[in-house]
């Protein structure tokens, strides 16, 4: 059984437009731009059927939810819940962001660089109390998952809430630590998709039972992906998975066998090329296997000045004796090992092939070489690689070990956006993940599933 959760941040509010900190202050309302974007979300979700819809009771989120619901065909009742309230920042709420920076410079730096250590000293009748906003909202998110997933197994749920709580919901679902709070982007009316399977009622999901299908999709509101901030100091890397091969479509394990793109894969690469046509690219790397190489070359037709560079450490995982085989054949030859790969992939040694720790090691080496080469340069480039490599790169952004291999979906021809706003020595920011809206109508990834 699978529970699908569609997660939406509210539309632009009056405080967003004024660059004010909101927290749980309930003074702001949607701007006209925010209302229009909420309607666009509703139109984008109109073909989906929801079993439940939850929202924050704060006006900006509740109004967004109501506008979305007005575009749905047969929506269930809207359920406000305080477990979806925004992160609580009582000493800053209502302040202009710049005023908060100037009035609380050390605290603001801690908020951005060490959010799990950030606290506010609150005065109460019986003395002062340390309030840790990020740790508190993470626990709030965990409680929401414990209650909600138990209630909606094998259903589709819509959640409309805020930047901080949405980040925390994504992070706690994937077991990402609170110190990475600032490393997950949530744009106004951005859409994220989470899939949960085999959830035990009242417990948080285990690593192999949750998948971030896509994160922070914004094409429906006119933005292919979030723009680079002016103060950005390091590189932006667009991580792309190669287009489809015939073996992808057939569910045949390919690994390091050099299978070319099929016609659909070339079309996916062309759509990715059109999607990135107007992006200023400064560099390009790829695995040298045919399928990512051809994908990269198709993308670079619109960027002829860019030289494609290759890195052997970006090759797909070696499946060893599994390569060229279908699941039924693998099960017959290695009884139980395929199921083990699906539920505890970190424990599997591919027969005469690699294990995930090896993939973690070499993908990290390749990624660090690329980031280091463009450190302290506000440039943008593409890295075109494979399913297992891309999954490993994404997990390591949050220091997640190989048991989290299945957490990040990477569809054929999908684009993921990763920023290094402070260069290699600062935390990366996952701006958007597994964008496939250039390949299909709607927000769901419909690329071939199955073997790598």
- Provide the greatest CA pair distance for the chain: 70
Active-site hit among 86, 244, 316, 323: 316
The Cα–Cα gap between 331 and 410 comes to 24
Angle at CA of residue 107, ends 105 and 112, nearest 5°: 95
Q: Are strands 78-80 and 52-55 parallel, antiparallel or unpaired?
A: parallel
- Look at the block and give the residue holding tokens 């057939």: 250
Helix ranges (DSSP H) in 300-386: 327-333, 337-343, 356-373
Note whether 191 and 208 are within 8 A (CB). no
Whether 177 sits among the annotated catalytic residues: the reply is no
DSSP per-residue letters across 202-238: TSPPPGGGEEEEEEEE-GGGT-SSPPPPTT--S-EEE
Q: Quick one: tokens of 205? A: 């999901």
Active-site hit among 152, 232, 242, 386: 242
* Residues sharing a CB contact under 8 Å with residue 179, sequence separation 6 or more, in sequence order: 114, 115, 116, 117
Angle at CA of residue 434, ends 428 and 438, nearest 5°: 125
Q: Phi and psi dihedrals of 313, rounded to 5? A: -75, -5
The Cα–Cα gap between 252 and 340 comes to 18
Whether 162 sits among the annotated catalytic residues: the reply is no
Catalytic residues: 242, 316
């Amino acid at each position: 059984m699978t529970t699908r959760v569609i997660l939406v941040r509210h539309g632009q509010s009056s405080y967003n437009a004024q660059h004010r900190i909101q927290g749980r202050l309930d003074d702001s309302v949607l701007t006209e731009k925010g209302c229009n974007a909420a309607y666009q979300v509703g139109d984008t979700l109109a073909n989906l059927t929801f079993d439940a819809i939850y929202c924050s009771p704060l006006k900006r989120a509740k109004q967004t939810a109501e506008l979305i619901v007005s575009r749905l065909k047969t929506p269930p009742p809207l359920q406000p819940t305080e477990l979806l309230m925004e992160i609580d920042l009582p000493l800053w709420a209502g302040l202009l962001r710049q005023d908060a920076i100037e009035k609380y410079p050390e605290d603001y730096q801690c908020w951005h660089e060490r959010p799990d250590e950030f606290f506010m000293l609150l005065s109460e009748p019986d003395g002062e109390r340390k309030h840790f906003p990020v740790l508190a909202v993470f626990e709030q998110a965990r409680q929401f998952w414990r209650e909600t997933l138990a209630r909606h197994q094998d259903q589709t749920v819509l959640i409309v809430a805020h930047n901080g709580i949405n980040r925390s919901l994504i992070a706690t679902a994937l077991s990402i630590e609170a110190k990475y709070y600032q490393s997950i982007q949530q744009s106004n009316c951005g859409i994220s998709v989470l899939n949960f399977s085999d959830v035990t009622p009242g417990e948080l999901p285990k690593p192999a039972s949750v998948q971030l299908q896509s994160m922070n999709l914004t094409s429906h509101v006119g933005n292919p992906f979030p723009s680079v901030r002016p103060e950005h100091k390091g590189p932006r890397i667009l991580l792309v998975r190669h287009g489809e091969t015939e073996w992808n479509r057939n569910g045949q394990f390919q690994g390091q066998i050099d299978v070319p793109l099929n016609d659909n894969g070339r079309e996916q690469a062309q759509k990715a090329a059109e999607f990135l046509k107007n992006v200023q690219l400064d560099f390009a790397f790829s695995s040298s296997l045919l399928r990512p190489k051809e994908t990269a070359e198709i993308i670079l037709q619109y960027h002829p000045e860019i030289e494609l560079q290759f890195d052997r450490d970006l090759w797909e995982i070696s499946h060893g004796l599994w390569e060229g085989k279908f699941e039924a054949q693998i099960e017959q030859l290695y009884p139980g090992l395929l199921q083990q790969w699906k539920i505890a992939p970190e424990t599997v040694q591919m027969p005469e092939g690699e294990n995930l720790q090896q993939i973690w090691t070499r993908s990290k080496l390749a990624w660090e070489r690329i980031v280091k080469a463009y450190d302290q340069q506000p440039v943008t480039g593409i890295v075109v690689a494979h399913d297992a490599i891309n999954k490993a790169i994404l997990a390591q952004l949050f220091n997640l070990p190989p048991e989290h291999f299945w957490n990040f979906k990477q569809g054929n021809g999908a684009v993921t956006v990763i920023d290094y706003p402070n260069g290699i020595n600062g935390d990366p920011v996952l701006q958007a993940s597994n964008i496939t809206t250039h390949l299909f109508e709607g927000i769901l990834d419909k690329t071939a599933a199955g073997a790598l």
